[in-house]
Amino acid sequence: MSFEARHISQTIQCSPSDIAVFAGNPANLPQWAAGLSEGIRNEAGRWITDSPMGEVEVKFRPGVEFGILDHDVIFPDGTAMHNPLRVLHNDDVSEVVFTVYRRPNVSDDEFARDTEAVANDLERLRDVLEVNEASTGT
């Protein structure tokens, strides 16, 4: 079985490597990923976040240095949701693309809220990085 998927994209005026270094660091999630993280802490090598869904673990998969920011959100019952996130070079800017999968039993309204939350998070990521880029001149 496959899930319905939506690809949410945001252009960011930064290099892919700068985006990957920042967004691929779990400690930075509260600065841009409000849809996932309201606060985060490292407990014995596990990143635990207080999310709108309750307390969950966030685990990035290998490849962050290549702009592959795929991460799993692991719920207290042990179920995991895989979240593909890519940073793509696009001439002198970058495209950040997040794939939102529609899980079973998710209503149209819930799926619309999920995709809107991701779009808002990517806009925050853009704003944080572009302000930082402008202030550092890099």
Q: How far apart are CA 65 and CA 56, in angstroms?
A: 24
The β-bridge relationship of strands 85-90 and 93-102 is: antiparallel
* Cα dihedral sign, 125-129-83-33: negative
pTM: 0.89
Given the structure tokens 């660091």, which residue do they identify?
25
CB atoms within 10 A of CB 58: 20
Q: Which helix (H) or strand (E) holds 22?
A: helix 16-23
If you write DSSP's letter for every residue of 76-138 in order, what string do you get? TTS-EEEE-EEEEEETTEEEEEEEEEE-TT--HHHHHHHHHHHHHHHHHHHHHHHHHHHHHT-
> Residue 133 — pLDDT band, cuts 50, 70, 90?
low
Query: Crossing angle of helices 16-23/108-136, nearest 10°?
Result: 120
Give the tens place of pLDDT for each residue, 63-116.
999 999 999 999 988 989 999 999 999 999 999 999 999 988 999 999 999 999
Architecture category of domain 4-136 in CATH: 2-Layer Sandwich (3.30)
> Amino acid letter at 26?
P
Mean pLDDT throughout 23-29?
A: 95
Predicted local confidence at residue 136, as pLDDT:
63
